[in-house]
Amino acid sequence: MSVVDRLKAAQEAIARRARDCGRDPAGVTLVCVTKTFPGEAVVPLLEAGHRVFGENKVQEARAKWAPLRARFPDVELHLIGPLQSNKTREAIETFDVIESVDRPKIAEAIAGEIARQGRRPRLLVQVNTGEEPQKAGVRPQEADAFIRECRERHGLDVAGLMCVPPADQQASPHFALLAAIAERNGLNELSMGMSADYELAIQLGATHVRIGSAIMGERDYSKG
């Protein structure tokens, strides 16, 4: 199958799963994760009409997407990897959605750059639902206070939440936990579910699913 065939298969699977759950397929957005893949690998997807993509690293995204956006200006680009405070200016310039807001220092830096640039990407708070020390994200028991701090102290408009469940655990409790945190904080966007578990995520309320290898193929992690 070509990369476009795999994209269409994923789109059809998302729509089918949404309908099976009594949801409108239009309420689930496919974020195609293109980290480590060169721009030329993304062009067929753009030419096929897909416009929502995810990247892990600010510098890689800036280099890759500047020429692509000259041709396809309506792309929506998501930062799904950790954000370092010294990359905040470039992140605000480059991304339309930042899914990895996860600590006060980053919230403060984002607020400052929004004020300077006047550009307001949508913001998602990343929750470390498995409380894994090697992963980014606010701990679940601290999420409510952090969301409140983002809103009240920094004036940020938090749109939703994101999580990456532990690889060695069932994903459903983590997705359910994220949905519960979102509901009590009045948040509408849930970025959860990847290539292996996105259908389960849709069942549990995902509005965005991040699919990489199921569309792009296996990636060379030595490149990032």
Which residues have a Cβ under 8 Å from the Cβ of 18 and sit 6 or more positions away? 24, 25, 27, 28, 202
CATH number for the domain spanning 78: value is 3.20.20.10
Looking at residue 220, what is its pLDDT?
Answer: 65
Calpha distance 50→31 (Å, rounded): 9
Q: Considering its fold, how many domains does the chain have in total?
A: 1
Note the pLDDT of residue 93: 97
What confidence score (pLDDT) does residue 218 get? Answer: 82
- The parent domain of residue 50 ranges over 3-223
Q: State the number of CA atoms in the 13 A half-sphere of 92 facing the CB.
A: 19
* Spans of the chain, pLDDT less than 50: 223-224
Model pLDDT, residue 132: 96
- What is the pairing mode between strands 76-79 and 122-126? unpaired
Buried b / exposed e along 22-54 (16+ C-beta atoms within 10 A): ebeeeebbbbbbbbbbeeeebeebbeeebebbb
- Dist CA 118 CA 60 (whole Å): 23
